Amino acid sequence: MRYQTLLKESAKNTGNVACMGLDPILESLPVSSGNLRTDLNSFFQQLFRRMNLAGLIPAAFKPNLGYYQSLDRPRDEDFSGSAALADVLDMLESFFPGIPVILDSKRGDIARSSMNYAREAFEAWQVDAVTVAPYMGSDSVEPFLRFPEKGAYLLNRTSNPGGKDLQNLLVVKEGENSRPLYLEVASQIAAYNQKSGSVGAVVGATNLQELEAIAAFYHDQAVPLLIPGVGNQGGSAGEVMTILRRAGYPVELARINSSSALTHPWKNKGVPEDWLELCITNLHALLEETSL
């Protein structure tokens, strides 16, 4: 199944366009046995089981690779973090079949290295899509497009405060009016997608005017959008949905992501006794806000 078809089918089957980020913080886990892999497995097992029983299923999942691999200690032959991610991916496949998994790794390098990163995502981790940094140009992006049933989300206008440092610089081309770099990147993303049909854009929810401009640019080009920044980063899923619809963008191709607000909304305040209810309540609210 081609990636765009998977996006449309999962949106139709779940009735929403929510994406659940899976970025665990060890200090915030409600279980602490001293065994990292066991604790992560227990936490996600409880959460996924409750989601499944409640019928609360988002239309995508997005684990950030760094949250897991940073827990490895390879020189001590300890790969607990990577093993825990493998467990999570197995659980997702079991509890939520047919729901796309996006590996957030933001890869991008010279062509041969990019091919290794593409194989890492699609062959080693066996995910459906990956995030890609496009700064090095077409030869660094192209290897990710050689997997016709997989998706690649290129960083377009990110949700972090420092994103404006480069992404908002004005680009001047001879004979044309200047425009922000993020719109120049958007035009390249659209061109990549026209060739492969599997290239999307990462556009943050923290600057709504820029999001609307990009959504309007993409509205008739079938470019999937991955929209982080909702929840603890300050973005509003409801406002994002309103903007996408106002721009005429095909909403079923979007995925609006929230991470820590769904997995550890208590952050560093100590794990409350009703931690599972808090996670479920926040997830329910996100699914409502992103309903089709």
CB 39 within 8 A of CB 29: yes
What residues contact 145, with CB distance under 8 A and at least 6 apart? 152, 192, 195, 196, 198, 199
Please report the DSSP string for 228-285 in residue order.
--BSTTSB-HHHHHHHHHHTT--GGGEEEEE-HHHH-TTTTS---TTHHHHHHHHHHH
Helix, strand, coil in percent for the chain, rounding step 5: 50, 15, 30
- Which H or E run includes 225? strand 225-227
Nearest to 238 by CA among 256, 220, 224, 253: 256
- Partners of 64 in the β-ladder: 104
Q: For 40-160, where are the E strands, in sequence order?
A: 60-63, 102-107, 129-132, 151-157
CB 287 within 8 A of CB 58: yes
* N-term to C-term CA, the chain: 22
Positions annotated as catalytic residues are: 106
CB 142 within 8 A of CB 115: no
